[in-house]
Structure 1
C-alpha cells in the first residue's frame, strides 16, 4: 500500500471522527403491537444531516434516514410512517414516499431473518413550526405490525 493512500485513509478517518456522531436512538415500545414471529431487530440508524443531538434541521431541508434491520417476518408490502411526538401525542408528518417497497433500497417481498437497509427521505416543510420534539419513524409489514420503529430527538429551526 502506498504512503499517499495510507495518509488519505488516515485523514478520512480523522475527519469522520471529528464531524460525525453516532445517532442515539430509542427503540419503540412494541408491547402494544407484538409480532408473532419475533421482535424487531434494528442494527443501525444513520440520519443525515445530523452531527449532534438533538438533530437540528432547517425549513426546506431534506433529511435522509438509513436503517439496517433484521426482518422479523415475511411481508409482501411495506409502509413507512413518521410522527412528531408533542406532549406524548403523535402527530403524523407527510412523507414523500410512504411505500417502503419503492425507492427505499428494499426489494419486496421481504423474508423473515434476512437483513435489509431501508433508506427514507423526509422533507422539513416551511409550514412546520420552529419546535423541539421527538420523532418516531417506523416501517410496517403488510399486516400493520412493526418491522422497525425508533425514536430520536429533533429540533426544527429557521
Structure 2
C-alpha cells in the first residue's frame, strides 16, 4: 500500500512538473533573463489549448532602475508581430515590487490567455517588459503551438 502511494505521488509530480522553457533573448537592453517557466507546459514547444490560460513566470536581473514597467506581448507569425493581449500589462502588478532596483533579481508572473477564436497554428511568442524609458528589462521569444 505504501509503495503504491509513493508511486502515485511520484507520477503526479512528473505530470505537473515542467522543465524551464527554452527561450531566445530578443534584445533585453537593461536586464538579463535566467529562467522562463510556463505552466502547464509538459513538453516543448508549449501546446496552448484554446479557451485556457497559462501562467508565465520570467526570472530576470535588472541592470537599471525604473519606477514602472509595462509588458508588451506579440504573436509572431511569418515574421509579422501581431498584438497578443494580456489581462495585466503593468509589471508592477505582476509580481514585481516597484520601483525596480539595479542589480536585483525579480520574478515577473502573468497570465497568457488563449482565446477560442485564435487559429490553430505554430508561432513564436515575443514578450517584452519595458522600463519607464521604454527600454527592455527583458525581451524573450519562445515557440508555441495553439491547438483546439
Instruction: Using structure 2 for the length normalisation, give the TM-score.
Output: 0.87
1:13 to partner: Cα distance: 9.8
Return the offset for 1:145.
0.3
Unmatched runs of 5 consecutive residues or more in structure 1: none
Q: After the TM superposition, which residues 12-27 of structure 1 pair with which residues of structure 2 at under 5 Å, given as runs?
A: 12=10, 15-16=13-14, 19-27=17-25
Cα deviation for residue 14 of structure 1 reads: 9.4
The Cα shift of 1:72 comes to 1.5
SS at match of 1:65: strand
Query: How many equivalent residue pairs?
Result: 143
Corresponding residue for 1:113?
Answer: 103
Q: Cα RMSD between the aligned structures?
A: 2.2
Q: Tell me how far 1:119 sits from its aligned partner.
A: 0.3
Cross-structure match for 1:95:
86
Alpha-carbon distance in 2 for matches of 1:29, 1:117: 19
User: Quick check: 117-126 or 16-25, which moved more?
Assistant: 16-25
Which aligned runs of 4 or more in structure 1 are off by greater than 6 angstroms?
Answer: none
Maintained 8 Å contact 2:68/2:92: yes
After superposition, the Cα gap between the structure-2 partners of 1:106 and 1:86, relative to the gap in structure 1 and judged at 3 Å, is: same
Q: Determine if the alignment matches structure 1 residue 84 to structure 2 residue 82.
A: no
Distance (Å, rounded) in 1 between the aligned partners of 2:105 and 2:55? 19
Would the alpha carbon gap of residues 19 and 75 (structure 1) be closer, same or farther in structure 2, given more than 3 Å must change? closer
Distance in 2, Cα, partners of 1:107 & 1:16: 32
Alignment partners' CA distance in 2, 1:17 and 1:93: 28
Aligned CA distance change for structure 1 residues 106 and 29 (closer, same or farther; 3 Å): closer
> 1:156/1:72 Cα in 2 relative to 1: closer, same or farther (>3 Å)?
same
| Deviation digits for residues 53-87 of structure 1 (CA, Å, limit 9, x no counterpart) | 11101111111111111111111111011110011
Report the CA distance shift for 1:17/1:49 in structure 2 as closer, same or farther (over 3 A): closer
Please state if 1:51 is matched with 2:42.
Answer: yes
Distance 1:113 1:12, change over 3 A: farther
Residues 107 and 24 of structure 1: CA distance in aligned 2, closer, same or farther (over 3 Å): same
